[in-house]
């Protein structure tokens, strides 16, 4: 059965990047359509019950199904596409990976607060929350180079877009979040070199993120003044 994949995305969305990285790691052809989340097209709202990206439209000879929520999309890609495995084969280890994917989503929640707040106290609260969460990640990491050792996994696909934020943040201020976390710093550097990670966003990503910070009058920008 012939299947085509269309990924509805936004240029800055870290959840979209998870799906893009998974598809690229699998070597799966797909069409990517970027939309403006501030002006969502009607056709997109009909596809996405939550009004969020990513949405993966799976078209077969018999049906067209719109999948939403990034982890659901990544799991579908893993279960249906060939290529390298992105989840462990053993059930308990696979469940552990899924738990750390959720932990990555919790980190993104704190990151949203860090990058959008105008309040110095809230900013510092989020900075400390991120430092604490990454300390937990440090304790979970092994010898590397990836989360679970030699094999790249969906946990890596989740964390790579998180680290990408800090490529821009580091140019603005010294946040000190990774200062004492050698394993996290090494993992971050290794993910940044991965072709699937590098190509998950456009060359304009840093400029778009800076513009996003400016629109929110982010406290983070004031640290760079």
One of 7, 8, 13, 73 is an active-site residue; which one? Answer: 13
The C-alpha angle 186, 191, 94, rounded to 5 degrees, equals 100
By C-alpha distance, which of 123, 120, 100 is closest to 112?
Answer: 123
Strands in 130-191 per DSSP E: none
**Cβ count within 10 A of residue 183:** 16
For the chain, report the end-to-end CA distance as a whole number of angstroms.
57
* DSSP single-letter state for residue 144: -
74 flagged as catalytic: no
Question: Helix (H, G, I), strand (E, B), or coil: what is residue 155?
Answer: helix
CB of 178 closer than 8 Å to CB of 162:
no
φ, ψ of residue 107 to 5 degrees: the values are -60, -40
Handedness of CA 138, 210, 36, 50 (dihedral sign): positive
Of the candidates 167, 159, 127, which has an alpha carbon nearest to the alpha carbon of residue 141? Answer: 159
Enumerate the active-site residues: 13
């Amino acid at each position: 059965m012939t299947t085509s994949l269309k990924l509805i995305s936004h240029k800055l969305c870290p959840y979209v990047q998870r799906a893009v990285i998974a598809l690229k790691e699998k070597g799966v052809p797909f069409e990517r359509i970027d939309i403006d989340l501030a002006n969502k097209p009607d056709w997109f709202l009909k596809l996405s019950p939550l009004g969020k990206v990513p949405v993966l439209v799976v078209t077969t000879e018999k049906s067209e199904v719109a999948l939403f929520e990034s982890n659901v999309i990544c799991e579908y890609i893993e279960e249906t596409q060939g290529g390298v495995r992105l989840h462990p084969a053993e059930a308990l280890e696979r469940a552990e990976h899924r738990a750390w994917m959720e932990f990555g989503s919790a980190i993104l929640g704190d990151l949203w607060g860090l990058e959008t707040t105008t309040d110095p106290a809230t900013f510092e609260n989020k900075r400390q929350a991120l430092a604490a969460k990454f300390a937990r990640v440090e304790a979970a990491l092994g010898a590397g180079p990836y989360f679970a050792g030699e094999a790249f996994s969906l946990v890596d696909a989740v964390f790579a877009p998180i680290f990408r934020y800090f490529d821009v943040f580091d140019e603005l201020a010294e946040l000190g979040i990774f200062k004492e976390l050698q394993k996290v710093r090494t993992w971050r550097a290794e993910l940044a070199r991965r072709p699937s990670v590098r190509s998950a966003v456009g060359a304009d990503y840093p400029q778009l993120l800076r513009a996003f910070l400016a629109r929110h009058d982010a406290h983070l920008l004031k640290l760079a003044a």
